A and B are shown apart, each in its own frame.
Chain A
């Protein structure tokens, strides 16, 4: 009797304190509907048929091979309750219909305070769509689109629409139309996402006071396009290999009060492309090996460049359509132009003794003819510039009154290179050639 009472007591404790864990069956929607708020549904390693609507505060956890597959007619997972968590599963097969009244997604979130974690998303129109949804977290997810050839037929990896205060971090997005699309979305944070092979890695419209940190944008037609937005902060991001015909690392169009700090712009067609924008601080960035380091249209004003390294670009900076009111130094600190403009610093205060003035004639061609970009990698550009300089056709592109001087000591690597070169050349010209002649030919000198 005593034993039975103990057993009953133990069972009661289990019922009261351990959250209910739904056993997933074929009909996932039925499981969700029958679950209580706060339930944790552990899914098995199999494919569940969608589409599903989550309207309870539950947690759905999958396993390595758990898949929720939509029927291709709408959103695969619709989250209509706050405080939902989806973790560790694959969601696939949303509708790709472009003519419907609604834009469908693999996961569409309509509510606040949800977490989407470690989810793999495939075959969708939009990957994850936050629709008027706030304070959500999307993290550690992989969103793979249909690829570059299908960009026009699909939507965006992360679509953020009228959604504020969300955190998007550690996601990998590839092959979608735009990697992340923001429309009227404020105060969001994007950290450590990797976006590649999209049209625009980041596409930004009418969204204010968002922060981007540690993101990588590679192999996109355009790295990040920030349009009609205010108070955006970009810090420590990498814009690499956005290399198409008129591609750019970062586009600012009608952007106000943007802060761009400690980012890397490497091997882009245009590192920074700024048009109709006002009051940006561009500080401490590495703008290296782009075809055009900075393309600045005259409609932009109060762009402040300071402490940037702008080096090894085919054209360091061009101003098009006339001169705007822009500054190439702040607090008497300009930019480091490296080998592009060697400067003297006799008083060794780290600031060049003479201001730098860059003249170019190529701006006219760039303004008038888009095919000019095809020639930016050609050595003929240097000849063109020199010749026009001779005929006085150059215009001043910018003046940096306080260029920085970096005291680079030659790297030890180069000493090794030179030594290795000398050694190899010596071996080839003295010993190697002689030996090889003997080995390979009767005509070789044997003595």
Chain B
């Protein structure tokens, strides 16, 4: 709790958090305005998909930066050294810090989307189950990318390194991961499709998207071919959970192994 309060107080003084919330609010309000013309029945689903599509462009980047700078600030202000010398191991520190950063991001976003539901209810037939699925997919993306951001902050020694790592990782998940998989597409057969699918769903954006679209009922898994059935060998929710867990644990472990206690700036 102490860490969460400290994180909150530190971040409300900075511009990063407010900028992120500002962008999220503006984008969601803008899309709500734009969706007024949609039909009462389907408009809500269109809105949720549009929101997701818009968020995946900037939310990972914001979370990566917020997570990274949150750790780096501890290095800059020498509070990391102080905390570690006093009583904490880096593992314990990172765990508490991760919880604090996640809470600081998730709680206000969750609250905002609770408020957001009110105007949405006036214009669309709101489906709470679908809305919850949307929140889960967005929160998964936030958690995963923030944790990767914390990894970047842990291993970086300068702000330039943070910028480089962040853009590199964002670029990888946004473009390169799928691009590499696309180049393997002609060689995919029944024998290797499960492996291909496992790697495909390692991209949080794809895993969250598939979970969202199937939960909304817009992406149908009826009448699948044999190949696609093999590809979807787990439910989308399980893929998302597995993806989240793997990336969280791996980021955490790498951060512990390769962390640096001091920044050069």
Contact = CB atoms under 8 A, between A and B. Distances in A.
Contacts of B177: 380
A7 interface: no
B261 to A, nearest CB: 24
Interface in B140-194: 174-179, 181-182, 185-186, 188, 193
A319 B231 CA distance: 26
Interface in A351-370: 365, 368-370
A425 B30 CA distance: 15
B220 A148 contact: yes
Contacts of B223: 151, 199, 221, 244
Contact of A199 (B45, B209, B222): B222
A424 to B, nearest CB: 6
A374 B13 contact: no
By secondary structure, the B interface counts as helix
A413 B33 contact: yes
Contact of A433 (B13, B196, B227): B13
B18 A244 contact: no
Given A365-B185, A424-B26, A218 B42 contact: yes
B85 interface: no
Contacts of A267: 46, 49, 218
A166 to B, nearest CB: 27
A176 interface: no
A232 B25 CA distance: 47
Interface string A238-249: 001101110100
Contacts of B220: 148, 219-221, 243-245, 247
B225 A370 contact: yes
Contacts of A425: 22
A417 interface: yes
A378 B13 contact: no
Contact of A148 (B15, B29, B222): B222
A375 interface: yes
Interface in A185-228: 197, 199, 218-221
A429 interface: yes
Given A244-B220, A370-B227, A380-B176, A365 B9 contact: no
Interface in B19-40: 19, 22, 25-26, 29-30, 33-34, 39
A362 to B, nearest CB: 9
B137 interface: no
B251 interface: no
B224 interface: yes
A27 interface: no
Interface string A379-391: 1110110000000
A365 B178 contact: no
A437 B12 contact: yes
Nearest to A197: B217
A440 B9 contact: yes
Nearest to B34: A413
A410 interface: no
B8 interface: yes
A440 B8 contact: yes
Interface residues of B, number: 52
A243 B221 CA distance: 10
B141 to A, nearest CB: 15
A408 B10 CA distance: 46
Contacts of A436: 12
B12 A429 contact: no
Contact of B209 (A377, A437, A443): A377
A372 interface: yes
Interface residues of A, number: 48
A241 B43 CA distance: 11
Nearest to A374: B200
A432 interface: yes
B70 interface: no
A443 B9 contact: yes
A444 interface: yes
B45 A371 contact: no
Contact of A380 (B45, B178, B186): B178
A369 to B, nearest CB: 5
A244 B181 CA distance: 21
Contacts of B10: 443
Contacts of A433: 12-13, 15, 18
Given A218-B42, A243-B220, A365-B185, A378 B33 contact: no
A244 B219 CA distance: 4
Contacts of B185: 365, 368-369, 371-372, 375
B175 A380 contact: yes
A421 interface: yes
A444 B13 contact: yes
A417 B22 CA distance: 13
A384 B184 CA distance: 12
Contacts of A219: 217-218, 220
A241 B218 contact: yes
Interface in A254-269: 266-267
A11 B114 CA distance: 68
A380 B179 CA distance: 5
B231 A371 contact: yes
Interface in B236-250: none
B178 A378 contact: yes
B228 interface: yes
B262 interface: no
A151 B222 contact: yes
A428 interface: yes
Shortest beta-carbon contacts, A-B, top 8? A380-B178, A244-B220, A441-B9, A378-B178, A380-B179, A243-B218, A369-B185, A428-B18
27 contacts: A148-B222, A221-B220, A221-B223, A243-B219, A243-B220, A245-B219, A245-B220, A266-B46, A370-B225, A371-B185, A372-B182, A374-B200, A374-B206, A377-B209, A380-B177, A380-B178, A381-B182, A383-B175, A383-B179, A384-B179, A413-B33, A428-B18, A428-B19, A428-B22, A429-B15, A440-B9, A441-B9
Given A374-B200, A383-B175, 6 more contacts: A148-B217, A241-B45, A244-B223, A378-B205, A380-B177, A433-B15
